[in-house]
Amino acid sequence: MSSKAKAVASTLKAKTPGNKTPPEKSHQALMAELAVSASLTGAIVVEKFSKHTVGEVSLEATAQALALKMGATQKGNLSHAEATLTAQAEALNAMFTELSRRAALNMGEYLDATESYLRLALKAQAQCRSTLQALAEMKHPPHVAWVKQTNIAHQQQINTGAAPTKMAQESLENPEQC
Does the pLDDT value for residue 19 go beyond 70?
no
Nearest of 124, 68, 60, 66 to residue 91 by alpha carbon: 124
Q: What 3-state DSSP class applies to 67?
A: helix
Query: Residue 23: its pLDDT value, please?
Result: 60
Considering only residues 18 and 58, tell me which one the structure prediction assigns the higher pLDDT. 58
pLDDT tens digits along 32-52 = 888 888 888 888 888 888 888
Considering only residues 77 and 172, tell me which one the structure prediction assigns the higher pLDDT. 77
Q: Are 61 and 49 in contact (CB under 8 A)?
A: no
Report the distance separating Cα 120 and Cα 96, nearest Å.
8
Does the pLDDT value for residue 21 go beyond 60?
no
Report the distance separating Cα 42 and Cα 65, nearest Å.
10
Considering only residues 82 and 148, tell me which one the structure prediction assigns the higher pLDDT. 82
Alpha helices in the chain (DSSP H): 3-15, 27-35, 38-54, 59-74, 79-106, 111-139, 166-173
Report the distance separating Cα 104 and Cα 120, nearest Å.
13
Return the top range by mean pLDDT from 6-20, 102-116, 154-168: 102-116
Q: Where are the domains of the chain?
A: 1-17+26-77, 78-141
Query: Residue 26: its pLDDT value, please?
Result: 82
Report the distance separating Cα 112 and Cα 110, nearest Å.
6
Query: Residue 10: its pLDDT value, please?
Result: 62
**Phi, psi (5° rounding) for residue 119?**
-60, -45
* 148 — pLDDT class (breaks 50, 70, 90): confident
Report the distance separating Cα 50 and Cα 145, nearest Å.
44
With residue 54 as reference, give the H or E element that holds it: helix 38-54
* 6 — pLDDT class (breaks 50, 70, 90): low
Going 50 to 54 to 57 to 62, the CA torsion angle's sign is negative
Does the pLDDT value for residue 150 go beyond 80?
no
Report the distance separating Cα 66 and Cα 64, nearest Å.
5
pTM over 0.85: no
pLDDT tens digits along 78-122 = 999 999 999 999 999 999 999 999 999 999 999 999 999 999 999
